[in-house]
Structure 1
Amino acid sequence: MNVLLQRLMAIGAAGLALLLIWVYFPLLPLTRWLLTLAVAALLALITISEWRSRRQFMHSAAGLTLPAEFEGALVLVCGDSEGLFAPGESTRRSKQGIYLAMATPDQLLATVNWLVASQSSRLPQLSLMLSVIPEQQDDEAVFRGQLHQWRAAIGQCRRRLPQLNLLLCGYFSAPIVGVATPWFVRDVQGTTVWQDDCLAQPLSEWMQQNNVAETFSQTVWLDSALSWLNKLVADELQHPRTALPAVEINLLAVTFRQGTARPDNLWQQFLQRSSLLCAPAACHHASRLPFPDLLLTILPQRPGFTAGQQLALNGGTCLSLFLICAMLASFINNQRLIRTISSDLDNYQQLSGNPAAPKLQAQQRLREHAQKLMRYQRQGEPQQLAMGLYQGGKLLPRVQRAVANWSPPTPPVPKPQVVAPAPQTLRLDTLSLFDIASAQLKPGATKVLINALVNIKAKPGWLIVIAGHSDATGHAQKNQQLSLARAESVRNWILGMSDIPARCIAVQGYGASQPIASNETAAGRAANRRVEIRLVPDSGACLAPASTADR
């Protein structure tokens, strides 16, 4: 999967996580924001880590040329590769695959990491080949040190790709003539022989079909080569004396070819110590050694995916996790809705309605639930309740029946409060009614008294209190008698000019005892000389007797 698709996949996964946080999960606002920040931080961390890894492994990709249309094996060649590649050459292409020379264990690690990061579609085609040419080695301790380093590097590669195949190829020189030298493959089932012109044959069958003397000579040399590989190479790769994990060899192959040989090399040393075979002399050959093309087809198949398949797998995994989490959140939200409405229904039904206030509050909550459920029914349920798990429609009839089955008692109609009318006072100037020191009405007083009578008649049934007042001039007792006489004169006029009963009228004389202004001035004394007609609301005081009303 290329870089753009990886980034789009990461952004898509972050978007699905935010959709779960903000739409589906029932979380508090603060929790939503904290989780959003965590998702953003994780996305940034992944992006920075991928960028750093890409920069670290980019130098490994600089010398690699991988044709996009090629579908063969991709083999990273470790170990002794001097006789396999021409000077300055790092890539060889054959019918079955592409071989890339790995000069050092660090280059192998960097190349595998680069392939994992940016060429993941090539991983199913990837294999390792550890090439061993003992005639190019003359120091066993140095050779063991090199194998130890390759063991560490191969172990790290297999931690990233656990099913990475390893092909161990041994190239040996032997004085074999007269017969083509095939590839000898050793596995748990025995030794098989691979030749260019036929399929694999068991070693015994191959010996019977060819010259016995020549094939026997090759099997003798083969036993020596396998013995050397087991004693030195397999021992260094798999012995548990170090902390490094043992390296599993998927396929061990041996062939006998003439190649460049150093004097007193490890192959010569082994033959001199351990067998009677005559060690080949040191020589130089310019031809390149062959790759085990025939054997690539029998390596264990490692499952893998193309870029499109990997994208589909990752996208499907993210989408599946999202759907699972969304359905789980929807289930929780629906259960919470059902539990809340059912609890409010039970509480409502347990209330007797006396007093009515608690049940009214519970009924209002049910009305709100009913409105919400009806809105969901018309417009569709919200996304956090969807995913085919919505159960609110079954509760709506129950809520509506519960609301309709009870209504609060009608409150009593409050009696209107009757406000008693306030008493009213009519103030008459005595100068317009009487002469000085006289209680006899003046002829011109009729107009003033008629106006007062109109106001009195407007309040039928009210008690009429007529009070006379004087100023402080003169004798107090005489002023009191004069004020009473004037009040009686007004009463007599009213009785004579209207049908108001005498019992509705009371007279009083106060003299100068209730002044409304100062008696020190002429204007104040004029204001104090007055007759006041006070209308008192007393509905029972002036009602006519029944006999009178009937007549």
Structure 2
Amino acid sequence: MQGLGYPARTILIFAATLALVVHWLVEPFGKEWIWLGTVGILIIAMGLVARRTRYLSRAREQSAPILKALSAATTDIPVNLRTRMPLMLVMGDALASLFDRKHDEQRLVFIGDGAIWLRVERTQDLPHVALAMRQWRDGQSPDGVALCIAPALHADADSLTQHLRVARQTLADVSRMVGARLPGYVTVYQRLTGLMPRDGNAARQWHGASASAPLTDALRFEAVVRHAESHALRHGDDPYAAAHAAALASIVGWTQRVVFGALTDPRQPAAPWTLHGACWIDCGPASDAGKPWERDVARQTCITPASVDATPAPWPLPQPLIEAMPRRVRSSPRLVAFAHAIGITALAAGAAFLGAGKHNAELLRRVRADLAHYASIAPDHDDARRDALHALVADRDELDRYARTGVPPRLSFGLYHGAALLPRLNAAIASYQPPPAVVTLDSMSLFDSGKAQLKPGSTRALVEALQMIRAHPGKLILVAGHTDNSGDAASNLKLSIARAAALRDWLIEASGIAATRFAVQGYGDTRPIADNDTPEGRAKNRRVEITLVPDMANDSR
């Protein structure tokens, strides 16, 4: 049964949903970005889901024969066991000779001692096969990639180098698709000598080195050569041992220069191979002096190697490589997905906290700026103070609404501190005192010259004053009389007081307001509002002003 593997699309949808929730509720980038951000999130999420779906579909389609062969070959292997068994992908040269024939069809799978060897016929199919294997193994990636090199199958070193660069790029694509850098191994199949050993099986012995960590120096491979030379010294009477040791030293050096150089050259654009091992065997196709390694030998030693016949198939798989294969931590893809979901949730929470902090800082900055602006306006600039007061009232209503109905998500997450500004707002609003309401009446329309009795019919001129008084209940009413500078100043002062008192008495009778709410003041000619040198100016100065002022004693209560 095929494993479910890592639920990448579910995680993508989960991440997109969280992003939309945070984007709409917290508005970390502001309201003006709501719709643009939503469209961007949806486009990115749908694109990634579609891309993942396309990858999986192509991987299953191109790997269908391999999956079928795997299902048949591993019928008796439990799922838990097959995820623990090393799975090696084999690509490169002479794959037909590495896998037995069965019913006239090339075998795609070989179950060896403790490992599953999987044949990848075309190098460019490796990424899709690796992705399909990850799904088949319940989310576990393949354990390594073995690149088989048979130098005798290549016309020259340039064609081999191009082949190696393709393999390098392919493994880089695999690592990107499965999300892990797979260990790389090189196996070289080359007939080293035409001699036959006394022990018939000695020719099919592997010589190489592997490690759980990437091999970064040549000392491991020099040890391989020294071991072969020591064997030749111990068997000095065997011509094969000496010829094999010399040829092995040559092929190891050639592999390091040509093969490893192409796979690990930092100047190439693709990521270098993480080389964990390499091995060589005196086994391979027929070879002659025109092949890449033989040409290198002739150039280095001026000795042309003899032509040799091909080794009968099947050739052995590099079983020794897996003995030092790095042990990878096995984890359920569902557990990995759960951990990723927790991480995504933490990122979303972080974005929510950052957005809420930003909005809270903006709210506090705006309210404090409104308070400072109101406090900076002089009391005599009433229009500006009223405008600033409206901003304070709007701020107070907003904070009061949050206190009554709850703080919105974009200000939540324990970062809201607006409640501390409510008392300051209320105090600033309560401190506002509107300018006194004033009605100015022409004394000549109310009184005869030099008189303090209201003229008959003058009450019609007092209607506006009466309406103003009734519109402001609770205010104190100050009635002040003024004259021009004609005549004696003392007489003018007395006349202004009498006229103010007469107007007060009429207002008390007309409005029914208690006399204690009234105050009378006479200024005579001491507060002119125009030039007394002209008739027009003197007319303006003869006036009675009715001013409404707050009752500070009652307000303080």
TM-score, with structure 2 as normaliser: 0.59
Q: How does 1:120-131 map to 2 (within 5 A)?
A: 121-123=139-141, 125-131=142-148
Once the 2 structures are TM-superposed, how far is the Cα of residue 42 of structure 1 from its aligned partner? 2.3
Give the structure 2 partner of residue 36 of structure 1.
38
Q: How does 1:209-248 map to 2 (within 5 A)?
A: 211-213=234-236, 218=241, 220-231=243-254, 234-235=257-258, 238=261, 248=273
Once the 2 structures are TM-superposed, how far is the Cα of residue 307 of structure 1 from its aligned partner? 1.8
Give the structure 2 partner of residue 390 of structure 1.
416
Once the 2 structures are TM-superposed, how far is the Cα of residue 185 of structure 1 from its aligned partner? 1.9
Change (3 A) 1:394 1:272: closer
Give the structure 1 partner of residue 89 of structure 2.
76
Amino acid at match of 2:140: R
Give the structure 2 partner of residue 332 of structure 1.
358
Q: Which of 329, 337, 346 is the aligned partner of 1:311? A: 337
Q: Deviations over 1:275-294 (max 9, x none)?
A: 989969636645x4333333
Amino acid at match of 1:292: P
Give the structure 2 partner of residue 399 of structure 1.
425
CA distance in 2, matches of 1:59, 1:48: 16
Give structure 2 stretches of 5+ with no counterpart.
210-214, 442-456, 462-557
Change (3 A) 1:202 1:230: closer
Q: Deviations over 1:493-546 (max 9, x none)?
A: xxxxxxxxxxxxxxxxxxxxxxxxxxxxxxxxxxxxxxxxxxxxxxxxxxxxxx
Q: Which of 106, 122, 126 is the aligned partner of 1:104? A: 122
Q: Deviations over 1:385-436 (max 9, x none)?
A: 122322212222322333344454675799999569xxxxxxxxxxxxxxxx
Change (3 A) 1:345 1:81: same
- Name the SS for the 2:65 alignment partner: coil
Change (3 A) 1:60 1:262: same
Q: Deviations over 1:87-129 (max 9, x none)?
A: 2101112233211112222232442455578879333x43111
CA distance in 2, matches of 1:229, 1:206: 13
Q: Which of 8, 11, 21 is the aligned partner of 2:10? A: 8
Amino acid at match of 2:24: W
CA distance in 1, matches of 2:136, 2:32: 39
CA distance in 2, matches of 1:374, 1:18: 29
Rg (Cα) greater in structure:
1
Once the 2 structures are TM-superposed, how far is the Cα of residue 8 of structure 1 from its aligned partner? 2.0
Give the structure 1 partner of residue 112 of structure 2.
94
Give the structure 1 partner of residue 197 of structure 2.
176
Change (3 A) 1:412 1:139: closer
Q: Which runs of at least 4 in structure 1 moved beyond 6 Å after TM superposition?
A: 116-120, 240-244, 275-280, 301-305, 412-417
Once the 2 structures are TM-superposed, how far is the Cα of residue 324 of structure 1 from its aligned partner? 2.7
Q: Deviations over 1:44-66 (max 9, x none)?
A: 32233333333433332202336
Q: Deviations over 1:188-229 (max 9, x none)?
A: 363479xxxxxx999559958995548996475144134135
Change (3 A) 1:318 1:119: farther
- Name the SS for the 1:121 alignment partner: coil
Amino acid at match of 1:149: H
Q: Which of 159, 162, 173 is the aligned partner of 1:145? A: 159
CA distance in 2, matches of 1:213, 1:247: 41
| Range 203-212 or range 350-359, more displaced | 203-212
Amino acid at match of 2:319: D
CA distance in 2, matches of 1:352, 1:138: 96
Give the structure 2 partner of residue 185 of structure 1.
208
Contact 1:76–1:127 at 8 Å: present in 2 too? Answer: yes
Amino acid at match of 1:37: V
Q: Deviations over 1:441-486 (max 9, x none)?
A: xxxxxxxxxxxxxxxxxxxxxxxxxxxxxxxxxxxxxxxxxxxxxx
The answer to whether the aligner puts 1:53 opposite 2:55 as a matched pair is yes
Contact 1:147–1:233 at 8 Å: present in 2 too? Answer: no
Aligned residues: 407
Contact 1:164–1:302 at 8 Å: present in 2 too? Answer: no
Q: Which of 182, 190, 195 is the aligned partner of 1:164? A: 182
Once the 2 structures are TM-superposed, how far is the Cα of residue 356 of structure 1 from its aligned partner? 4.8
- Name the SS for the 1:78 alignment partner: strand
Q: How does 1:317-396 map to 2 (within 5 A)?
A: 317-354=343-380, 356=382, 358-396=384-422
Q: Deviations over 1:347-405 (max 9, x none)?
A: 22234444655444534443443343234334432111122322212222322333344
Once the 2 structures are TM-superposed, how far is the Cα of residue 342 of structure 1 from its aligned partner? 0.6
Give the structure 2 partner of residue 22 of structure 1.
24
Q: Deviations over 1:220-271 (max 9, x none)?
A: 5144134135436851562579977695443221234xx5754758599679
Contact 1:191–1:202 at 8 Å: present in 2 too? Answer: no
CA distance in 1, matches of 2:242, 2:407: 80
Give the structure 1 partner of residue 501 of structure 2.
none
CA distance in 2, matches of 1:215, 1:318: 66
Contact 1:237–1:246 at 8 Å: present in 2 too? Answer: no
Q: Deviations over 1:63-90 (max 9, x none)?
A: 2336642222221112222332012101
Change (3 A) 1:241 1:396: closer
Contact 1:377–1:393 at 8 Å: present in 2 too? Answer: yes
Q: Deviations over 1:293-338 (max 9, x none)?
A: 3322424567896523542453244333322322221121111111
- Name the SS for the 2:402 alignment partner: helix
